[in-house]
Structure formats: C-alpha cells, structure tokens
Amino acid sequence: MIQISGNDLNNLDKRYRTILINSLAGIRQVALVGTMDKNRQSNLSIINSVIHIGAEPSLFGYISRPHTVERHTLENILETNHYTFNFVTEHFIKNAHQTSARYPKNQSEFKECGFQEEIFENQFVFVKEASVKIGMKFLEKITIKQNNTDLIIGEIQNVFIEPSRLEKDGFVNLENTMMNSGLDTYYVPEKIGKLSYAKPNSEPQILIS
C-alpha cells in the first residue's frame, strides 16, 4: 500500500492534494440544483453532495463550499427559499458538466448548457430533461466553522419520477443516471444485487441480482 501521512498531505502540491482529497471521498450521485432569484432569473449548478438526513420529516442536505460557482445557487436559495435537485442520465454528461463553468449571474446555465426550465407552482424550477426531480424548501444553513463550508438543509416538497424507475416497495431505481468522483470523472452505476436485511448469525442472501 502507498502510505500518505498527515505531514505528507500538508506538503503536497495544492492541485494534487485537491484532486486526492476530493476523489478519496468516493463516487457519488450527481445532482443539478435548480434555483431562481426573486426576479425569476434561473441558475443551475452541479453538485455531488446530496445527503440523506431523515425520512420523517423528509430532509436532504447538501454542501455549499465557499468561493465556488455554486454560490449563486446558495444566494438564490436564501432569497426565495426554494430549490430543486435533478438527476439526469449519462446522455447529458457534457451539458451537466458545463454547468460548472463560471457564468455571470445574469446568464442562466439552463440556456447556456442546453437544458429546459420547467417551472412548477410558480416557485420551483426543474430540469425538464431530468429522470428524477425533487422540489425542496430551505430550512437551515449550518456553517462548518473549520472552513466556512455550509450544510444546507431542506425538506422535500414534491417528487417527480419516471414511472419505470419507481419500484413496488418505493425504491427509486437510478440506473444509467450520472455519478462522479473528484471534479471531472463520471460514472454510471452497475448493479450487483439487493441483499436481505442483515441479522446476527445468518448470512445475507442476494434477493435480486
């Protein structure tokens, strides 16, 4: 094994270190975050930090890092209290990645990156092309004091799912949607199987593979 100590980490080239630490955190679902400001100027940004916080109430979080392009997203959320998470398929990989470019606030990434806005109830802006869409209401911003990163917590208001993706038990099948690692390497999930509920003294069974 290659060993990298804390001291080694401190002495690494900044770019190498950023790529290392970012990719070490694992491969995660890509979400496009749709927002509007109070003048209905839309914004779309790419994140991979959606976090399940609870099912009752239905709470998701995500991480908003200081000094990144996603800050327009956070400004809009704080202004209007609403935002959306949108999962797109690998077909849209270039469009989705392009939302990470530094567009000025008066240019919408929806238009610049080739996505269509879908306004719902006058307050949610979804990505029309997405396979799974989640409308969120902002609840709380928690600032992590060590590096001024924000955890944004919201409650699910509504969900739109392609019928073929919703399974009988409530499971949402995210086959061929995008995931990424680091800032630029994209993946799709390949299913291994579904395992039975684990209990001491019995081995888990593969239910579906």
Name which of residues 98 to 157 contact a second copy (CB under 8 A): 98-103, 107, 112, 132-134, 139-140, 142, 144-147, 149, 151, 153, 155-157
Residue 62 class from Cβ within 10 Å (0-12 exposed, 13-18 middle, 19+ buried)? buried
Nearer to a second copy, 36 or 154 (CB): 154
Closest separation in Å from C-beta 36 to a second copy? 19
Closest separation in Å from C-beta 82 to a second copy? 12
- Strand, helix or coil at 96? helix
CA distances from 24 to 28, 63, 97, 108, 180 (A): 11, 16, 20, 32, 12
Binding residues among 1-20 for a second copy as defined by CB under 8 A: 1-6, 9, 12, 14-20
Task: Please give the structure tokens belonging to residue 62.
Answer: 């995500």
Q: Which stretch binds a second copy (CB under 8 A): 25-33, 37-45, 76-84?
A: 25-33
Based on the shown chain and the rule CB under 8 A, indicate whether residue 94 belongs to the binding site for a second copy.
yes
> Which of residues 41, 42, 65, 75 is near a second copy by CB under 8 A?
65
Nearer to a second copy, 36 or 50 (CB): 50
Binding residues among 35-64 for a second copy as defined by CB under 8 A: 49-61, 63
Dist CA 71 CA 141 (whole Å): 13
Based on the shown chain and the rule CB under 8 A, indicate whether residue 78 belongs to the binding site for a second copy.
no
Element at 73 (helix H, strand E): helix 71-80
Question: Is the dihedral angle over the CA atoms 107, 128, 115, 27 positive or is it negative?
Answer: positive
Closest separation in Å from C-beta 75 to a second copy? 19
Dist CA 47 CA 62 (whole Å): 8
Whether the Cβ atoms of residue 204 and residue 195 lie closer than 8 Å to each other:
yes
Q: What mask of x and - would describe binding to a second copy in positions 189 to 208, judged by CB under 8 A?
A: xxxxxxxxxxxx--xx--x-
Cis peptide upstream of residue 104 (ω within 30 degrees of 0): no
